[in-house]
Amino acid sequence: MENNQSRLIILASSSPRRRELIAGLHIPFEIIPSHADETTPEDWAPERIVSELALRKAAAVHRSLIPARDDAVIVGSDTIVVLNGRVLGKPSSREEAASMLRSLQGQSHQVFTGVSCIDGATGQTLTDYRVTTVTMRSLSETEVLAYAESGEGLDKAGAYAIQGLGATLVTEIRGCYFNVVGLPLSLLSEMLKQFDIYVL
């Protein structure tokens, strides 16, 4: 089936990584950051956190579209890192980034990414998530501090970027690589079919 070029994606994110991933699908898209509230109760399960925040981001952009955009599907996404049941978000400083890396090194952790799509014409909503297990090698304190000082992980959940220098920290991935980058493309492409957007 041909890609439906009459519809486009509005990505509710300012993330350069998600922008690059969406661009790789060769579907017309626009970027509108959501500025949605990202606080959640501490007792929420990881899958609930990413699903709710992805939906919150997409819904915030959907509500902001005046007039409504019937031609668009709004896509929101959220990623967190979970280590032994503890949620790691984005570090607020290089010191916190180093602390996160110390806890992650030599262990496996899970990366959860939620994806939410809202039809600009009908308001139909679809939300799902993916989980990938990542194993990080043991790091020396020198390596921890050097990577934290690079600043690469400061705006990323878990304080590392698997597509950058952080690739040197990871020994194994079980699941979708793009899920760790911040947007599981296989999941998104399946979800978009529900809105008559066919990547292939």
Question: Which CATH number covers residue 177?
Answer: 3.90.950.10
The alpha-carbon radius of gyration of the chain (Å, integer) is 17
* Least-confidence region, from 61-70, 74-83, 92-101: 61-70
pLDDT of residue 89: 87
CB 132 within 8 A of CB 114: no
Pairwise CA distance, residues 166 & 172, whole Å: 12
pLDDT digits (tens, 9 = 90+) for 90-124: 999 999 999 999 999 999 999 999 999 999 999 99
User: Is 1 part of a structural domain of the chain?
Assistant: no
> Is the pLDDT score of 68 beyond 90?
no
Domain span holding position 186: 8-195
Pairwise CA distance, residues 54 & 79, whole Å: 9
Closest-CA residue to 77 (of 4, 157, 134, 137): 157
User: Is 3 part of a structural domain of the chain?
Assistant: no
Give yes or no: 128 in active site: no
Count of the separate structural domains present in the chain: 1
Q: Which of 70, 71, 78, 196 is catalytic?
A: 78
Q: What is the DSSP letter of 12?
A: -
Q: What separation in angstroms does the CA of 89 have from each of 32, 86, 112?
A: 22, 10, 11
User: Is 183 part of a structural domain of the chain?
Assistant: yes
Pairwise CA distance, residues 112 & 83, whole Å: 11
